[in-house]
Structure 1
Amino acid sequence: MLWIDTVDTGGPSGARPLRGLRSSAAPGPPSPLAAARGSLVIARTLRVLGACRARRSRARQTSRIPAAFTLLEVLVTLAVIGLAATIVLPRLRDARELRLETDGRRLADTINFGRERAVLTGVALRLVLDLDAERWMLGRPGQVATEVVSDPGPLDRPQVLAAPARFRAVAVGGAPVVQRGVVALELPPSGDGLPARLDLADDRGGTVSIVVPAASGRAVVVR
C-alpha cells in the first residue's frame, strides 16, 4: 500500500506538491547475486585466516626444530671426527715409523749383502754414506777413501733415503761421531769389518738405528 504526504505551501487551491513516497510493504528476500557475493567474501576471509594460522604454526615449528636438529648434527659430527681421529692418527704415525724402519732395513740389507759378497768373491767392498745428500752407495774402493767404483750388481746405483728420513749420526769403529759430510764403511773379504752404528731420524722425532757388529756379524735395525 502506498500513500502520499503533501505539504500545503500556500499555492493555488488544490496544488499539493509531492513530498515523498513510503511503502508499507515488508522488504523482500535478497537477490541471488548478493547472496553469492556474501558467501564468496566469507569463504575468502576464512581462507585468509586459515593461511595465517598455518604460517604461524609453521614458524613456531621451524623456530624449534632447526635448533634441535643442528645440535644433533653437531654431536654426530663430533662423534664421527673423534672416531676417525682414533683410527687415522695412529695409522699415520705407524706409517711414518714404517717408512723410517723400511729405510733402516734397506740400509742394513745393503751392508749385509756387501759383507757376504766381499767374503764370497774375495774382493773388498766399500759402503759410502753421504749424510748431506741422504744417500749411500756400495762398490769397490776408489782411489780416495770416500769414493767407490761401481760394481755390477743389484746395488750398483746410489740409494736414497725416503723423505723425510735423514741421517742423524754415524759412528764407525772408535772414530768420533759424524753428523755431516761423507763417511765410508769398509767391507773386507776377510769379514773382519769394524763395528758401526748408523742413526736415522725423521721430522717428527722418530728414530731407528742400524747396528753393525764387528767381524762378520749381520747388521740389524733397532728402535
Structure 2
Amino acid sequence: MNWDIIADAYLGISEDRDKIIFPVLLKYIKEFSPKNLADIGGGDGRFLELAFTHFNHNHFSEFALTDSSTRMLARAKSRLSNIKNLTICDSHKTLKKHNWDLVTLIAVWMSLETHEECINLLSQIKELLSSNGKLFTAVTHPCFRHLNYHSFSANFDLTNYFESGKKFRVNLYDSIRSLSLWDTHWTLSDHTHQLNSAGFNIELIEELQDVDNNSEGSPWLVIIASPK
C-alpha cells in the first residue's frame, strides 16, 4: 500500500484510535517512566506530540519517529517542530541500537504481509531497546474483526480466523469521511509466536473497549513486551 497516496485522506478521518489507545499507553509510560522514546511507523507524529505535552518537557531526553511515507514524515516534521532532541527519518535501521527505553509500534503490525516481515521488524526493534527497554504495540483485535465499531469495520469472515496472513479490507470512517484499505490478519497465537521468535517476553496483554459502550467485543489489543 502506498501511504503517500492515501496519507492526507487517512489523516483527515477523525479516528477513535487516539481516544482508545493513547490514554492506555500514557498510563504505562507513567508507570514505567522511560527516558527516551522511539515511535516506529509513527505517521504524522500525533502520539509523540501527546507524550511530549502530557509529561513534563524535561521527562524525555530524546525522541525519534520513523515512517516509510514521505508525506507522513512531512506532516510529522510540521507537527513536532517545537520538540528538541528529535530524530525523524524514513527507517528505524538508522536509529541508535541498544539506546531506547521505549519503542512504540501502533497500528503497524497489521500492515506486515508475511511472518518473516513481522519477525524481522520485531527483531530489529529488540536491537534498538536498552537493557530494560520495553515494546508497546497496538493492533486491531484479531478475535473481533467481524464486528463494526464506532470508527472502523473490517470485512473479515471469522471462519477464516486460522488463515494467517490473509488479507482483509478495513473501512475507516467518521461522520463526514471514509476510507478503505487492506490489512493482514494475524491470530493472537501468531502475535505471541512472532514475539517469542524475535526474542521477546510478553509482560502484559490488554484488551481495549470501544468509545461506544454498546459495541461488542474489543476493537484494539495492546501488548507490552521486553527482551528476553
Shorter chain as denominator, the TM-score bin is under 0.3
Structure with more of its chain in helix, by fraction? 1
TM-score normalised by L of structure 2: 0.18
Higher relative contact order (CA 8 A, sep 6+): 2
TM-score (norm. length: structure 1)? 0.18
Structure with the largest fraction of strand: 2
